[in-house]
Amino acid sequence: MAEGKLCNRKPINTEEELKELMADRGGRKYYEEMESLDVDQDALWSSIRKTFLSRLKTWIEICARCGMCADSCFFYLANDKDPTQVPSYKIQSTLGEIVRKKGKVDNEFMRMTMDTAWSKCTCCNRCAIYCPFGIDMGVMFSYVRGLCFSQGFVPWEMKIGSGMHRVYRAQMDVTTEDWVDTVEFEEEGIEDEYPGMKIPVDKENADILYTLNAREAKHYPEDISEAAILFNLAGENWTVPSEGWEETSLTMFAGDWEGCKMQVENVYDAMDRLKPKRMVVTECGHAYRATILEGPYWAGLKSGKTPIESIHYVEWVAEVLRSGKLKIDPSKKIKEPVTLQDSCNYIRNGGLREVTREIMSYLAEDFREMTPCKDHNFCCGGGGGLNGIGRYHKQRNAGLKVKRDQILATGAKFVIAPCHNCWDAIRDMEGIYKIGIKWSFLKPLLLDMAIIPDHFKPEEE
Amino acid sequence: MYQFVTGPLAWLAFGVFFIGLIVRTVLYIKGLNWKMDRVTYGVNTKYGVKGAFRSVISWILPFGTHGWRSHPVFTVITFVFHLSLLISAIFLPAHNYILKQKWGVSLITIPEAVGDIMAIAVMIAVVLFIIRRIALTEVRIITTAYDYLILLIAVAPFVTGFIAYHQFFDYELWVILHILSGELMLIAIPFTKLSHFVLFFLSRIQIGMDFGIKRGGMKNSGFVW
Ligand code: SF4
Ligand code: SF4
C-alpha cells in the first residue's frame, strides 16, 4: 500500500524524522504525497468496530436532521449561513459516510474528511448544547481526527506537533536543558527587581506544582517571570518540575491518542516524583482540557482525575484575590470598559464560568459580558489547533468574524483572554480586521495592580 | 380481519415494541465505556446523576433551554406534535376500550373531541415539518428520504384514525388501516430513528453525566442548557 516518505501512517518518533518533515517548508511535498496516500480500509474499519460505541453510534443514528444545531456553530454564522457548515451535515457527510460504507472510502474522501475535521470544526462543543439529543460534534470530530491521524491524513503542522510531543514531550523543541536554562535566566531577571524572589525547580512537597505551555518557554519567557513574581507575592510554596512541565497537547488536536498518553504521563510522573499538594496550570485552555480533564482517561486512571488535585490559573487567581493573599491596589483597577473571552475548554467544558466572573469583580470597574457568554460563548475562532494550520488560514480568518462582532457589540476595546489560543486568535483578528482593540492575559494585569510587600522591595541605597 | 389485527398482530406489535425498546436500552448501556467516552460513570456518580437530571428536565420543558428558546416556532410545533401524539395514543377512549376488552385494564381517558383536535394537530405539525424540511436550506441539506419515511410512519395512524372516526369513507376498512398503521409504528420504533422514544432519554442522560462529572459539573452550580 502506497505511503509517502513524509506523509504516511507512521507517527514521528525521532528527532531526525521531525527535522526532515519540518524542512519541507509549508508542507508542500507532504501534501503532494498525501494525494497518493492509500487508505488502509481494513484497518480503518477494524478500528471503527472497536471504538465506535453506543454513544457515537446513537448520535449518528438518531440525529433527527432537524437543523437546530445550525446557528449554534460559529462557522455557519461566519460563512453567511452556508448549509455545508451545518454541524449535522459536516459529521454525516464524513464520519456518517465512513461508517455507512464500512470504511470503504478512498483517498479523495479522506482528504475531504481531513479538511472538514480541521478547518470546519474547532471542537468547541457548542453545537452539543443546542441539539435536543445532546449530539456533540466536537467529540465526534475529535474522534474523526483520530481516524484521520491513524491513516496519515493529518495537516502538516499537526503531524509536526504530534512529533514534537513524542520527541521532546513538549509542543515545541524545548529540551529539559533549554527549559531549566530558561528558568534560571528568568530567575536572575526577577531577582534583580525583587530581591529574594526565586523560581524553585524540582522542590519536593511544595503546595503548588506549576506547569505551563512550551510557547512560554520558547517565545514568551516573560510569562514565566510574571507567574513567578505573582506566586512569590502571594507567598506560595511552589515549584516547577524540570521534567513534565509542559501542559499542552498538540497530540490532542492531531488525534494522536498514543502521543496524548505519553505526554500526560510525563506530567503525572512529575506529580509522583515531587509530591506537591496541587498543580496549577497556566492561562491556557486546551492545556487544561488535555492534561486535567481528558488526560486521566488517556492514562487509564479510573478516578477520572489527575493523581493530585489540579486547577486552572483562573481558579488560583480567584482564590488568592478572595483570600487576600494577593492584594490589589484598588486605585489601579481597570477603569475602561473591558470584556472577557471565555475559553471553550475550561468554561463550557470545564465549569469555570463562576470563578472568572469573580476575578472580573476584583479587577474591573466596567466589566461587559459578551453575548452570548459563559457556557454558551462562541469559540474565539482559532481553537482545536486551527490557529496554527497554514492550509486553513483563510477559513480561520473568516471564522474570526463572529468573535469580532461579539467584541464590538460590548463597546469595550479591551479583551482579557486567559487562554493562549484565544489570545492568538484575538491578536490575529486585530491584525486582519483592525478594530482597535487591546488584549491581555491576566498575569501582566495582576502584576500592574498588585501591592508589593515591603520585603520584596529593593533596599534603599 | 378485525379480530386478527387487534388480536395476534397487536400482541406481536406490542411485543416487538416493548422487547425492542428494552434491548435497545440494554445495548446502549452495555456499549457505554468510561475510557472511550471519557466519563467515569461509576466514579463521582452523584454529580453525574445531578447532571443527568438537569440535562433531561431542561430539555423536556418547552422553552427550558437556550436551544428551544432560540427556535420558538419550531419548539411549539415540536412540543405540540410530541405531546399530542403521545397523549392521544395512550389516553384516547377508543384505545382504552380495546384495552379493557382485551386485558381488563383501563387508564384515564381524554374526551373524544380533544383526541380529535390532537389528531389534527399532529397532522398539521407533520405538514409544517415537511415544509420546513423543504424551505430551510440548513434543514434541506441534511434531509434524506428516510426522514420523510419516518414522518409518514408517524402520521399514518392519525390520518387513518381521523378518517375512520369521522366515517368519511368505509369505516370498517379505515379502522383496520388505522390499527395496522399504529402497529407498524410500534414495530418501527425500536428499529428506526423513532427509537429516540428511549434513546432521547439515554442520550440526554449520557451527555448530562458527561457535563456533570467531567466537564465542569464538579466545579460550578450545574450546566446551563
Ligand atoms: S440539532 Fe441534533 S438532531 Fe438536530 S440536526 Fe443537529 S445534530 Fe441532528
Ligand atoms: S464543535 Fe463547534 S465548531 Fe465544531 S461543529 Fe460544533 S459548534 Fe461548530
Q: Do B31 and A376 touch (CB under 8 A)?
A: no
Contact A87, A133 (CB under 8 A): no
Cα A63 to ligand 1 centre (Å): 5
Write the CATH number for B109.
Answer: 1.20.950
Q: How far apart are CA B69 and CA A75, in angstroms?
A: 21
Above 90 in pLDDT, residue A454?
no
Above 60 in pLDDT, residue A461?
no
Cα angle A176-A197-A451, degrees, rounded to a multiple of 5: 125
Strand partners, A361: none
Taking only the tens place, the pLDDT of each residue in A198-254 is: 999 999 999 999 999 999 999 999 999 999 999 999 999 999 999 999 999 999 999
Q: Would B220 be classed as within a structural domain?
A: no
The chain A residue lying nearest B211, using CA atoms, is A349
Hey, what's the torsion of the CAs at A39, A41, A47, A52, to 10 degrees? 100
Contact B213, B57 (CB under 8 A): no
Hey, what's the torsion of the CAs at A211, A214, A216, A218, to 10 degrees? 140
ipTM of the complex: 0.96
Q: Do B36 and A350 touch (CB under 8 A)?
A: no
Residue B127: CB partners within 8 Å, gap ≥ 6?
A: none
What is the Rg, in whole angstroms, of the alpha carbon atoms belonging to chain A?
22
Range A422-430 average pLDDT: 97
**Ligand 2 contacts CB of residue A170 (under 6 A):** no
Q: Between B65, B193, B207, which is nearest A62 by CB?
A: B193
Give the pLDDT score at A455.
87
CATH architecture of A330-449: 3-Layer(aba) Sandwich (3.40)
Above 90 in pLDDT, residue B102?
no
Give the pLDDT score at B201.
98
Contact A286, A383 (CB under 8 A): yes
Above 70 in pLDDT, residue A133?
yes
B28 touches chain A (CB under 8 A): yes
Q: Would B225 be classed as within a structural domain?
A: no
Name the maximum alpha-carbon separation found in chain B: 64
Q: Would B224 be classed as within a structural domain?
A: no
Cα angle A88-A91-A96, degrees, rounded to a multiple of 5: 110
The chain B residue lying nearest A310, using CA atoms, is B219
| B140: confidence class by pLDDT, cuts 50, 70, 90 | very high
Range A267-292 average pLDDT: 97
Q: How far apart are CA A231 and CA A119, in angstroms?
A: 38
Cα B198 to ligand 2 centre (Å): 26
The cell numbers describing A425, all together, are 486568535
In this structure, of A64-68, A360-364, B107-111, the range with the lowest mean pLDDT score is B107-111
Taking contacts as CB-CB distances below 8 angstroms, the residues of chain B near A71 are 70, 138
Range B143-156 average pLDDT: 98
Separate counts of helices (H) and strands (E) for chain B? 12, 0
In this structure, of A129-133, B3-7, B13-17, the range with the lowest mean pLDDT score is B3-7
Q: How far apart are CA A187 and CA B165, in angstroms?
A: 86
Give the pLDDT score at A425.
97
Under DSSP, is residue B180 helix (H, G, I), strand (E, B) or coil?
A: helix
Among the CATH numbers 2.40.128, 1.10.3110, 1.10.3720, 1.10.1060, which is that of A39-154? 1.10.1060
The chain A residue lying nearest B28, using CA atoms, is A54
Taking only the tens place, the pLDDT of each residue in B25-82 is: 999 999 999 999 999 999 999 999 999 999 999 999 999 999 999 999 999 999 999 9
Q: How many domains does chain B have?
A: 1
| B90 exposure class (CB count in 10 Å sphere: 0-12, 13-18, 19+) | middle
Contact A290, A249 (CB under 8 A): yes
| A334: confidence class by pLDDT, cuts 50, 70, 90 | very high
Q: Which residue, among A246, A250, A8, A21, has the nearest Cα to A118 in the 3D structure?
A: A250
The C-alpha cell 406489535 sits at B13
| A458: confidence class by pLDDT, cuts 50, 70, 90 | confident
A100 touches chain B (CB under 8 A): no
For residue A382, give the ligand nearest its CA: 2
| A82: confidence class by pLDDT, cuts 50, 70, 90 | very high
Ligand 2 binding pocket mutation candidate from A71, A89, A120, A124 (most atoms within 8 A of CB): A124
Above 90 in pLDDT, residue A338?
yes
Name the region of A328 (left: φ>0; alpha: ψ -120 to 50; beta: rest).
beta
The cell numbers describing B173, all together, are 376498512
B223 touches chain A (CB under 8 A): yes
Q: Do A376 and B66 touch (CB under 8 A)?
A: yes
Per cent of chain A over pLDDT 70 is 99
Range A428-435 average pLDDT: 97
Interface test with B, best of A375, A376, A377 (most B CBs within 10 A): A375
Give the domain ranges of chain A.
39-154, 165-323, 330-449
In this structure, of A360-364, A454-458, B199-203, the range with the lowest mean pLDDT score is A454-458
Give the pLDDT score at B104.
84
Q: Between A350, A374, A376, which is nearest B215 by CB?
A: A350
Q: How far apart are CA A53 and CA A347, in angstroms?
A: 27
Provide the residue range defining the domain that includes B127.
Answer: 2-213
Taking contacts as CB-CB distances below 8 angstroms, the residues of chain B near A304 are 34, 38-40, 43-44, 213-214
Per cent of chain A over pLDDT 90 is 97
Q: How far apart are CA A451 and CA A442, in angstroms?
A: 16
Taking only the tens place, the pLDDT of each residue in A172-188 is: 999 999 999 999 999 99
Mean pLDDT value across chain A = 97
Range A279-290 average pLDDT: 97
Taking contacts as CB-CB distances below 8 angstroms, the residues of chain B near A89 are 141-142
Taking contacts as CB-CB distances below 8 angstroms, the residues of chain B near A356 are none
Residue B52 phi, psi dihedral angles, 5° rounding: -65, -45
In our burial notation (b when 16+ CB lie closer than 10 A, e otherwise), range A289-326 reads: bbbbbbbbbbbebeebbbbeebbbbbbbbbbbbeeeeb
| A460: confidence class by pLDDT, cuts 50, 70, 90 | low
